[in-house]
Amino acid sequence: MTLRSEKMTVAIIQARMSSKRLPGKVMAEINGKPMLYHVLKRAEMTEMINMVVVATSDHCDDDTIEAFCNDTAVGCFRGSLDDVLDRYYHAARHFDAQVIIRLTADCPLLDPGIIDSVIKTFFRGDYDYASNTLVCTYPDGLDTEVFSFGALERAWREAGLKSEREHVTPYIRNHPELFRLGNMSHTENSSHMRWTVDEPQDLDFVRSVFEKLENPFWGMQEILNLLQENPELSSKNAGIIRNEGYLKSLSDDRINEK
């Protein structure tokens, strides 16, 4: 039975080749396929999303991403490399999105069930924005943000700080007086776990998880069970700072204000 919304609900996967810490990571091979392929497939396994697309930059480095999208018949929009908010806004307009799900191409362990639950939280609460990151209780790498086109458009029009343009949702999250915000929390706090890919150690960890999980319909609980049985896996990428890129943007904001 389909649960898809009557509103055009579009997952926009943010992807670029020019990662500072691990260049080309979104096309790094995992279990015989590029990482971006796995993110797309995880998003396509959801029940609440109408369309899954990729938003990459118009820089020549990202021709590879556009070619991959063309080869796999996935919608692709190209926009600003550094003003990711602008890229997202124009991608949402291009695909007529009414509700946007923000996912990133460096999170190949996404749980489709969690994505659906955040979307349901968004609709049930009549929010402008809902996520599982306002209060972090899920492993880093299962981040899901859902917001209305109206909220995205207002952020695109009004956001001025570097951190608000390089990252899509800070303006929305930092202005609860303007937007109705909702959060989905997990019963147990697993936010210390790192399942995203920013460093070579992260890639090693994710590859190990894929090697051991044969059933394609796994989610967060199956990974938690795997790590309980194989605790040495978690040590592969322990101790790396969460959201380091956003923290760098905030630091740049403070420097530019002086």
pLDDT of 238 reads: 84
pLDDT of 6 reads: 81
Res 65 pLDDT > 80: yes
Q: Which fold has domain 9-257?
A: Spore Coat Polysaccharide Biosynthesis Protein SpsA; Chain A (3.90.550)
User: pLDDT tens digits, residue range 96-151?
Assistant: 999 999 999 999 999 999 999 999 999 999 999 999 999 999 999 999 999 999 99
Return mean pLDDT, the chain: 92
User: pLDDT tens digits, residue range 140-185?
Assistant: 999 999 999 999 999 999 999 999 999 999 999 999 999 999 999 9
pLDDT of 257 reads: 55
Res 253 pLDDT > 80: no
Domain map of the chain by residue range? 9-257
Tokens read off for 3: 């649960």
pLDDT of 239 reads: 80
pLDDT of 79 reads: 98
Amino acid identity, position 174: N
Cα(155)–Cα(158) distance, integer angstroms: 5
